[in-house]
Chain A
Amino acid sequence: MKIRQTRYLTQMVAKILIWIAAFFTMAVMALIIFQVLSEGLPVLSPGFFLETPRSMGREGGILSPIIGTIALTVVAIIVATPLGIGTAIFLWEYTREGRISRIIRFGIGCLAGVPSIIFGLFGFVFFVIYLNMGWSILSGGLALAAMILPTVICTTEEALKAIPYSFREVSYSLGGTKWQTVTRAVLPNALPGIFTGIILGICRSIEETAVVILTAGSSLIIPTSLFSPVRTMSVHFYILAREGISMEMAYGTGATLIILVLLVNTIANWLLNRYIRHRA
C-alpha cells in the first residue's frame, strides 16, 4: 500500500513540475514577444514601411532594410534551391549507398554544423575580398545560400523519401526514363516538403545578422544593383539598439521582424495543410 502511494506521489510531483516548466517556457516567450511588440507596434505605420531611414535611423522608416532583407533572401533562395534540390535528387534517386554518397553526406553534415560567424568570416574573405565583389547583396546572398544549403537538401531528401516507390514504379513501367520519372512523377508530389525547406531557409536568412554585417555591409540607402551594400532588418535592429540611436525605431524594427516570422510561419503551415488536404 505504502509503495503504491509513493509512486503516485512521485507522479503527482513530476506532473506539477512539468506543467510548471511548460508554462514557464510559454511565459518567457510571451514576455519577450510582448515587450518588443508593445513598444514596437505603436511605431508601425504605412510611413514606417515606405520611408527610408533618415538621420542615421532616428527618423523616417525602414524601407531600405526591408528591401535589403528581401534582396538577400531572394538571392540566397535562388542559389540554394536548385543546388539543394539537385543534391537531394542525386542522393536519393541516383545513388543511395556507396562511397560518393557517403562523402557527400559527410560534407553536408559538416556544413550544417558550421556556426554562422564562420560563414561570415568565409564570406568576407572569399566573396568580399578574394572575388572582389565588395560588400554587396551578391556577397551576402551567396554566403547565406551556403548557410541554408544543408537545410534545403535535408528537407528535400525527406520529402523525396516520403514518396512511395510505387510512384516511380508506375512511371518506369510506362517507359519513362529516370529523369522523366524524377521530374514528372516524384518532384511534383514532393513539393510541399520542398517548400518547407525553402521556408526554413527564408527564416534563417531573415534572422541572420553576423553573416550579413560581414558580407553585405550596413549601408542605409536603397541598393541600386546587386553590388550595392545593403542592410537587413536584423542588422538595422542591432545597430539601432546597440548605438542607442533610437530605441523607438529599434522596437519598431523588432516588432516588424517578429510579425514577419509569425507571418512566414502561418503561411508555411497554411500551405502545408492545404496541400495535404488537396491530396488526401
Chain B
Amino acid sequence: MEFKEKFVEKILLLIAFSSITILALIAFFIFGEGIPLIWKIGPKSFLLGERWVPSQGSFGILPMIVGSFWVTFGALLLGIPLGLACAIFLCEWTPPSIGMILRSAIQVLAGIPSVIYGFWGLVVLVPLVRNFLGGPGLSILSGSLVLSIMILPTIISISEDSLKALPPSYKAGSLALGATHWQTIWRVLIPAARSGIVASIILGMGRALGETMAMIMILGNAVKMPSSFLDSARTLTTNIGIEMGYASGEHRQALFATGVILFFIIMILNSLAIILSRRRVS
C-alpha cells in the first residue's frame, strides 16, 4: 500500500514535469536553430537591420518588429475601449436577457477560427479601406481592425471577472456617499480592478502578437518599414508563416531566429501579466 502511494506520487511528478519538458524541447529546438544565425550575423544587424532579402543573405527584422508593434498597438487602441465598455456593460448595466445573449455571443466569438476572421476582413474590410481611404487596402489598418475584434473576448471576459470579483462593499460604499453610478464605476470600481484589467490587456496583446493566419491574409506582407496605417506591413509571426514552407538552410534558420525574438517578447509580456494578476489577489 505504502509502496503504491509512493509510486503513484513519483508517476505524478513525472507527468507534472511534462509541461517543463515540452517547454524545454521547444526552447531547445527553436533556439538551437535560431540562435546560431543571430550570432553569425550579429544581434544588432538582425534586430535593427531594415532589409529582409533572404536570397541575398540580408536578414534584418526591424520592419517586422515595427509592423508587429503597429498592428498590435492599433488593435489595442480599438480593443481596449470597446472591451472595457462591454465589460462594464455586462457587469453593471445589462438587463439579464441581453446580458446572457452578449455573453454567449462573446463565447462564440472566441471560438471562431482566426482564418474566418481573416477571410471576412479580406472580403469586407479590405475593399472598404481601399475604396474609401486609399492604398492597397491590405494594410495595418485593416489588420488592426480585425485583430481588435479577435482580442475582444479576452479583454471582456477577464475584465468582467475582475470587476465581478470586487467586494460589493466598494460599490455600496461609493453609492452611499452620494456618487452617481457612473462615478462609482469610473472612479472606484475600475481603479480597484485595475490589475485584472491590465492583465487582460496584456493577455490580449499577447494574443494579438501571436496571431498569424488572419494577418497573412490581410496585411499584404510587404517587407519594407511601414510609414502609415494604410501601408502594408509584415509582423514577426507572418514573416515566419509566409516563408516557412519554402525556406531552407540559412533562410530557415533566420525564420527560427524570428521565432526566438517573438518567443522572448511574449514571455516578457506574459510574465508581466502573471505578476500583475498576482498583485490583484493580495
Q: Are A and B physically bound partners? A: yes
Instruction: Give the interface of A toward B (CB within 8 A).
Output: 7-8, 10-11, 14-15, 17-19, 21-22, 24-26, 28-33, 35-36, 82-83, 86-87, 89-91, 94, 100, 103-104, 107-122, 124-126, 130, 146, 149-150, 153, 177-179, 203, 206-210, 214, 234, 237-238, 241-242, 250, 254, 257-258, 261-262, 264-265, 269
A234/B186 in contact, CB under 8 A: no
A107/B111 in contact, CB under 8 A: no
CA distance A179 to B6 in the complex (A): 10
- Given A117-B210, A210-B241, A261 and B274 touching (CB < 8 A)? no
Q: Which residues of chain A have C-beta atoms less than 8 A from B5's C-beta?
A: 177-179
CB neighbors of A among B179-218 (8 A): 180-183, 185-186, 206, 209-213, 217
A90/B105 in contact, CB under 8 A: no
B115/A234 in contact, CB under 8 A: yes
Q: State how many angstroms separate the Cβ of B155 from the closest Cβ of chain A.
A: 11
- Given A90-B15, A178-B5, A265 and B104 touching (CB < 8 A)? yes
Q: Which residues of chain B have C-beta atoms less than 8 A from A208's C-beta?
A: 113
Q: Which residues of chain A have C-beta atoms less than 8 A from B213's C-beta?
A: 209-210, 238
CB neighbors of A among B63-113 (8 A): 81-82, 85-86, 88-90, 93-94, 101-102, 104-113
Count of chain B residues with a beta carbon within 8 Å of a chain A beta carbon: 83
A254/B19 in contact, CB under 8 A: no
Could you say which of A82, A87, A113, A207 contacts B206, with CB atoms under 8 Å apart? A113
- Given A146-B22, A207-B112, A209-B114, A22 and B85 touching (CB < 8 A)? yes
A90/B25 in contact, CB under 8 A: no
Q: Which residues of chain B have C-beta atoms less than 8 A from A119's C-beta?
A: 26
- Given A15-B182, A207-B112, A250 and B119 touching (CB < 8 A)? yes
Instruction: Give the interface of B toward A (CB within 8 A).
Output: 1, 4-5, 8-9, 11-13, 15-20, 22-23, 25-26, 29-30, 33, 81-82, 85-86, 88-90, 93-94, 101-102, 104-117, 119-120, 122-124, 149, 152, 156, 180-183, 185-186, 206, 209-213, 217, 237, 240-241, 244-245, 255-256, 259, 262-263, 266-267, 269-271, 274
Could you say which of B13, B15, B26 contacts A118, with CB atoms under 8 Å apart? B26
Chain A residues touching B, majority SS:
helix
Q: Which residues of chain A have C-beta atoms less than 8 A from B25's C-beta?
A: 122, 126
Could you say which of A17, A33, A110 contacts B267, with CB atoms under 8 Å apart? A110
A104/B111 in contact, CB under 8 A: no
- Given A117-B241, A237-B115, A242-B217, A15 and B93 touching (CB < 8 A)? yes
Closest to A126 in B: B29
Q: State how many angstroms separate the Cβ of A9 from the closest Cβ of chain B.
A: 10
Could you say which of A11, A104, A115 contacts B210, with CB atoms under 8 Å apart? A115
B16/A26 in contact, CB under 8 A: no
18 A-B pairs within 8 Å (CB atoms) are namely A25-B82, A25-B152, A86-B12, A94-B9, A107-B19, A113-B266, A115-B209, A115-B210, A115-B212, A117-B237, A122-B29, A146-B26, A149-B19, A177-B5, A209-B213, A241-B217, A254-B119, A262-B108
Could you say which of B15, B18, B86, B111 contacts A264, with CB atoms under 8 Å apart? B111
A107/B23 in contact, CB under 8 A: yes
A-B residue pairs, 9 tightest by C-beta: A115-B210, A86-B15, A21-B85, A113-B270, A207-B113, A11-B182, A107-B20, A90-B16, A261-B111
B113/A209 in contact, CB under 8 A: yes
B82/A18 in contact, CB under 8 A: no
Closest to A208 in B: B113
| Known A15-B93, A18-B93, A111-B19; further 8 A-B contacts with Cβ < 8 A | A14-B186, A25-B156, A32-B117, A94-B13, A113-B206, A119-B26, A122-B30, A126-B29
B30/A121 in contact, CB under 8 A: yes
CA distance A250 to B277 in the complex (A): 41
Q: Which residues of chain B have C-beta atoms less than 8 A from A8's C-beta?
A: 180
A28/B149 in contact, CB under 8 A: yes
CA distance A83 to B93 in the complex (A): 42
Closest to B268 in A: A113
Closest to B237 in A: A117
A115/B262 in contact, CB under 8 A: yes
CA distance A41 to B79 in the complex (A): 30
Q: State how many angstroms separate the Cβ of B77 from the closest Cβ of chain A.
A: 14
Q: Which residues of chain B have C-beta atoms less than 8 A from A124's C-beta?
A: 244
A125/B29 in contact, CB under 8 A: yes
A18/B29 in contact, CB under 8 A: no
- Given A87-B18, A242-B217, A110 and B113 touching (CB < 8 A)? no
CA distance A128 to B186 in the complex (A): 52
Q: State how many angstroms separate the Cβ of B259 from the closest Cβ of chain A.
A: 5
Could you say which of A90, A214, A250, A257 contacts B12, with CB atoms under 8 Å apart? A90
